[in-house]
Amino acid sequence: MQTIDANRRIAAPTISSVKARGTDPADSALVIGLLCTVVVTWSLTYVLLRVGMRYSPPEMFAILRTTTGGALLCAAALALGRPFPRGWRTHAWLLACGVGGSSIFLTAMNYGATYVSAGETSLLIYTQPFWIALLARWLLGQPLNRVRILGLVIGFAGVATVAFGKIHVDASPAWNAYLVLTVGTFAFSVSAIWFVRHLRGVTLEWAVGLQNVYGGIALIPAWLIFERGQLPISAPGFWVAFLFTSVGSTFLAQTAYSSLLRRRDATVTSAYTFLVPILATLGGFLFLGESISVATLIGGAAVAAGIFLVNRRPSRQPAEGVQGV
């Protein structure tokens, strides 16, 4: 069986090798494992973020999470002997991706977890596949046909159905939080496309690690200005949330998601994130004794149907993937 080396294949991808990935059993198994890592880890992240926000200001928590996860990835890159990226342009794009995908997006998530309900946060965050699909069509030339658009709409409708019961809009809606979440989601989407387009020659560990380190450092001025250098409260809840989001959400899940962006079309990869709120609800049922409503079942079915349509291959078009890995 051929050994899959993600970093080795970055340098010289070919059309034939990209198309072959969809039929390679080893690659398919790896993709399933990466998807499970992303969906399961990110479904638990939202719960732990709300815990972490009880003990830490949003900017500070984002700094700690990104720099710690990024530093661990850089250490892994050194241990594995990955070549350090060269050139100021490469590091400029790493900084841009870090600011968009880490600084802005994670601050927005933390802000949302602090000021708006989980349902409202889900609805705004999961507009991300639409942004990525449009940007991938425009900047990467990836296909966006009517079936994929329909799949995205159905998938988002499923998320909305699940989130509907968790939406609690106050008499004075937190418009600032809505705006921050929307901007953060768009910034994450742009960062994902830039990652595919401009960083395909950088090995995965350095690419994800450095953009998180750069993103965390870029947040320090905002932390000093807006949060006046406030530090987190050292409590068990803070440390659980910090360790999980640093190691699980950043070190593992973000690396897995970035690898998927190089292995599959960005639209296909992003559509699977519709599963995150479904898994989060299931986790509440299994571990917290929460009930599962009929709306949750309907929403889950809609998400599954949407993902199926996004992954559906046109009968006259062979499987395509993203050049990169």
Which pair of structure tokens corresponds to residue 157? 């409708």
Residue 249 has pLDDT above 90, yes or no: yes
pLDDT for 45 equals 84
Which pair of structure tokens corresponds to residue 91? 């590091």
pLDDT for 6 equals 41
CA atoms within 13 A on the CB side of 65: 34
141: CB partners within 8 A, 6+ apart:
none
pLDDT for 96 equals 96
The 10 Å CB-count burial string (b at 16+, else e) for 237-269 is: ebeebbebbbbbbbbbbbbbbbbbbbbbbbbbb
pLDDT for 123 equals 73
- The crossing angle, in degrees rounded to 10, of helices 146-164 and 118-125 is 170
The DSSP-derived string for 44-65 is HHHHHHHHHTTTS-HHHHHHHH
Task: Give the model's confidence band at 315: pLDDT under 50 very low, under 70 low, under 90 confident, else very high.
Answer: low
Q: How far apart are CA 57 and CA 225, in angstroms?
A: 12
pTM: 0.81
If phi > 0 it is left, if psi is from -120 to 50 it is alpha, else beta; for residue 144 that is beta
Which pair of structure tokens corresponds to residue 238? 């803070």
pLDDT for 11 equals 37
- DSSP state for residue 12 in the 8-state scheme: S
- Model pLDDT for residues 170-222, shown as the tens digit of each residue: 545 567 778 888 899 999 999 999 999 999 899 999 999 999 999 999 999 98
Residue 247 near residue 66, CB atoms below 8 Å: no
- Model pLDDT for residues 107-161, shown as the tens digit of each residue: 888 777 777 766 667 777 888 898 999 999 999 998 888 999 999 999 888 888 8
pLDDT for 289 equals 65
Which pair of structure tokens corresponds to residue 158? 């499923």
Alpha helices in the chain (DSSP H): 15-20, 25-52, 58-79, 88-98, 105-115, 118-125, 128-135, 146-164, 175-198, 204-218, 220-226, 236-243, 255-263, 266-271, 275-287, 294-311
More confident residue, 212 or 320: 212
- Model pLDDT for residues 47-90, shown as the tens digit of each residue: 788 788 889 998 999 999 999 999 999 999 999 999 999 999 99
